[in-house]
């Protein structure tokens, strides 16, 4: 059959319409709800096999082949990337942090690593856990385990920052550590990681750190002013009004 005859063929038209509908559904599913496939490898492989079978269709139109290839590329993207940490790995590492390693890192490196970890943590939350405010229910640990782990990660990071500061034995070193963490928080702000900003400012406001009057007396005015600025941004007043305005 030539092209004109083929397009008139009823069976060919039906198959093309069916293929387009399937590809449309898969495209929306893969690009809008990719986490479904990250959490279910068996389902992911079934879809990959289906798409590979579609590509073997000799009658596949150019636009259909392009759409199929794009969906397949999106599904296989994670396989091509370098292995990345999972939330469980982060929680396991937080049980035994190495303080001496953090001392050797610059403020920029610390901010980058905090931002990366926060990204992994938030990305791990299945979108279903945001439905129905399950994190406010009595059985929240069962309903929203990943949101609860996110909360635990926040507390772990805040504890780590506070520990880093109070582990210093002399006042000058503690003051320098406070100033460094304020800079880290400001870099997190520049990276639009306001969760990181809140983790650090929360640590600086803990009683174990805040009551170090002699230490705070040695912190520069510039650092204190910067901390005040950061605290205003992430303040919970007005249901985080300042933060919401900053994010606009």
Distance of alpha carbon 66 from alpha carbon 62, whole angstroms: 6
pLDDT of residue 83: 44
**Percentage, residues of the chain above pLDDT 70:** 87
| Cα–Cα dist 71/74, whole Å | 5
- pLDDT of 82 > 60? The answer is no
**Which residues make Cβ contacts (< 8 Å) with residue 234, sequence separation at least 6?**
194, 197, 198, 201, 240, 242, 243
- Contact between 6 and 12 under an 8 Å Cβ cutoff? The reply is yes
Q: Of 30-34, 75-79, 113-117, which one has max mean pLDDT? A: 113-117
Compute the average pLDDT of residues 150-158: 93
- The Cα–Cα gap between 118 and 198 comes to 12
| 194-221: pLDDT as tens digits | 999 999 999 999 999 999 999 999 999 9
Tell which wins on pLDDT, 163 or 84: 163
Residue 6, pLDDT > 90, answer no
pLDDT at 89 over 80: no
DSSP state string for 138-191: TTHHHH-HHHHHHHHHHHHHHHHHHHHHHT-SSHHHHHHHHHHHHHHHHHHHHT
Q: Which domains does the chain have, with CATH numbers?
A: 3-80 (no CATH), 87-247 (1.10.840.10)
Mean pLDDT over all residues of the chain?
87
Percent of the residues in the chain that have a pLDDT greater than 90, as a whole number: 62
Predicted local distance difference test score (pLDDT) of residue 15: 82
> What is the model's pLDDT at position 1?
47
Window from 96-100, 168-172, 238-242 with minimum mean pLDDT: 96-100
């Amino acid at each position: 059959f030539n092209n004109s005859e083929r397009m008139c063929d009823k069976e060919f038209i039906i198959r093309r319409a069916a293929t387009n509908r399937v590809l449309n559904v898969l495209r929306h599913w893969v690009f809008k709800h990719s986490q479904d496939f990250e959490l279910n490898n068996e389902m992911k492989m079934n879809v990959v096999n289906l798409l590979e079978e579609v590509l073997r269709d000799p009658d596949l139109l150019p636009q259909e082949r392009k759409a199929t290839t794009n969906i397949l590329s999106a599904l296989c993207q994670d396989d091509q990337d370098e292995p990345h940490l999972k939330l469980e790995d982060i929680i396991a590492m937080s049980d035994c942090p190495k303080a001496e390693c953090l001392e050797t890192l610059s403020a920029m490196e610390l901010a980058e690593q905090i931002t990366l970890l926060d990204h992994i943590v938030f990305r791990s939350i299945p979108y279903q856990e945001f439905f129905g405010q399950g994190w406010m229910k009595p059985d929240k640990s069962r309903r929203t385990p990943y949101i609860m782990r996110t909360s635990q990660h926040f507390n772990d990071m805040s504890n780590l920052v506070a520990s880093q500061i109070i582990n210093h034995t002399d006042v000058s070193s503690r003051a320098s550590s406070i100033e460094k963490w304020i800079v880290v928080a400001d870099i997190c702000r520049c990276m639009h990681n306001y969760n990181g900003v809140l983790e650090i400012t929360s640590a600086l406001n803990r009683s174990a750190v805040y009551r170090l009057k002699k230490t705070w007396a040695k912190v520069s005015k510039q650092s204190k002013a910067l901390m005040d600025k950061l605290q205003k941004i992430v303040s919970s007043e007005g249901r985080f009004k300042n933060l919401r305005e900053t994010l606009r």
